[in-house]
Every structure is written in C-alpha cells, then in structure tokens.
Amino acid sequence: MKKEIARRKWLTGVFIVVCVIYLMPIFTVLMNSFKANAAINTDTFAFPNAQSYVGTDNYVNGINFGEYPFLKSAGYSLLITITSSALILVCTSMAAWYISRVNSVFARIIYYLCVFSMVVPFQMVMFTLAKTANTLHLDTPYTIPVIYLGFGAGLAVFMFAGFVKGIPLEIEEAAAIDGCGPLRTFFLVVFPMLKPVLISVGVLEIMWIWNDYLLPYLVLDRTKYKTIPIHIQYLQGSYGHVDLGAVMALIVISIVPIVVFYLTAQKYIIKGVVEGAVKG
C-alpha cells in the first residue's frame, strides 16, 4: 500500500513537471505580449516591470498593423474552420455509415484508402496539391474546405466507422419499416447517436484547421486572403523590422478561442476516441 502511494506521488510530480514544461511557452508569450520590444529582446523570460510594461498597446498595434486588417484575417480563419469542419463531419460520417453497413469490396477499398491516407506525409503531396488547387480554382477561403475534407477524411472515417459498427442494426431496420429512406434514416436516427464521436472529431479537426499554417500558405492567394497564422508571419515593418510585441499579442488572441473551445469540449474527446476506435 505504501509503495502504491509513493508511486502515485512520484507520477504526480512527474506529470506536474511535464505540465509546467508544456505551459511555459504559452505563459512566456502571454507575459511578453505586455512588454516593450526592447524588453522582449533583452529579458525574454523576465516579468513585466515599470519600464517594460506597455499595457494593451501591443494588442492595439497588432490589430491595426499594416494595410491588411487583422479582423479580416480572423474572419477568413473562422470561415475556413467552420466550413471545413462541418463538411468533414457530415461527409465522413455518411461515408463511414455506408462503409459499415454495405459489405462490398468497393466499401472496403474506400475504407482502407482512407486509413492509408493517415500515414501519407503532407510534404509528399504539397507541391502537387498547390498546383492542382490552382488549376481547379480551389485557392480561395470559400473553396479550400474541399481540400481540408480530403486531408481530414482519413481519421474521421476511421473513428466514425468504428462507432457505427456498435449501433444496433435493428434501429435502422425499424426506421425503414416506418417509411424512412436512407437519408432520413441517417440524419434522423443514426446522426444523433453519433454525438460523442462527432464532438471528438469536431474538436480535433477544428484545432487542426484553426492553427494550420502550411496548407493556406501554399494554396491561398496571399495578396487577397490571409488566415491568422499567415497574418502574424507578415507583421513586418520597414527594413524587415518585426514588432515582437504585436506578434505576441496576436498569438495570444489566436490561442484564446481554441483553448476555450478545447476546455469546453475536452470531456468528450477521450470518450469519442475510445468508442470510435474500439467498437466493432
């Protein structure tokens, strides 16, 4: 018993240290967002003092920096994130339902292709993807969700398919007897039952898309459209001078929504991942 208590205390200490290590970068960014540029360069890890503290000036400067408005970038990020996540959830859940209920070679091929796509590095296809997106006119915030659907389908189909296999087929048969067609059966019967894995997949996809830098950078026309990560990269003044205070402030602004969203939905993540991966 004493050994078990000691082991738990030791593990608690280890996890506290790991937690502090993970939180240090976020705390450092938050702390520096209230400091002057000179203080950020010379005393990065020092707390703001009377000389270095600038209040909310960095936030105001970051939002008003340059000719391209930050709120426009935030709007594009929000549009891309919401549209892409909704498209992924609806399309992949329907695909997973079809794969799980139709026992055919075609369905199995689609499933294994989706699973295989999870192990293909993005770097292998990014240049071909950029060219294809430009040719098909998928290089705007209104069309890039189609590309995100392709990259997000692998994990989503894998999780949804595992969960759907655990849903009793008799429920869908009863709906069919009552006159429901395939679409009504899915959206009125199956889709509501997918809530745990829907939230899990939604959280994972939203966090990925909101923070994604490389795909929008390669695909979008940066003279017209910038997401928040791209906007932060272009916070440069004359002669390449970077306003570090404004950069830190905008990083904090970009982090807050996704952290709040994650903390709100975190209890569903493990539940959905476990049920989606183990069932069936």
Give me the pLDDT at residue 274, please: 58
Domain boundaries, the chain: 2-62, 67-278
DSSP-based three-state secondary structure for 236 = strand
For the cut 80, the answer to whether the pLDDT of residue 241 exceeds it is: no
Task: In whole angstroms, give the CA distance from residue 198 to residue 88.
Answer: 10
Tens digit of each residue's pLDDT (9 = 90 or more) over 106-127: 989 999 988 888 888 888 888 8
DSSP-based three-state secondary structure for 53 = strand
Residues 54/35, Cβ–Cβ less than 8 Å: yes
Tens digit of each residue's pLDDT (9 = 90 or more) over 200-213: 889 889 989 999 99
Tens digit of each residue's pLDDT (9 = 90 or more) over 175-202: 888 888 888 888 888 998 888 888 888 9
Look up residue 198 and give its amino acid: L
Query: Region 244-269: what's the mean pLDDT?
Result: 84
Give me the pLDDT at residue 278, please: 47
CATH architecture of structural domain 67-278: Orthogonal Bundle (1.10)
Residue 170 token pair: 């008799």
**What predicted TM-score, i.e. pTM, was given to this entire model?**
0.86
DSSP-based three-state secondary structure for 178 = coil
Query: Region 55-75: what's the mean pLDDT?
Result: 86
Query: Region 68-86: what's the mean pLDDT?
Result: 92
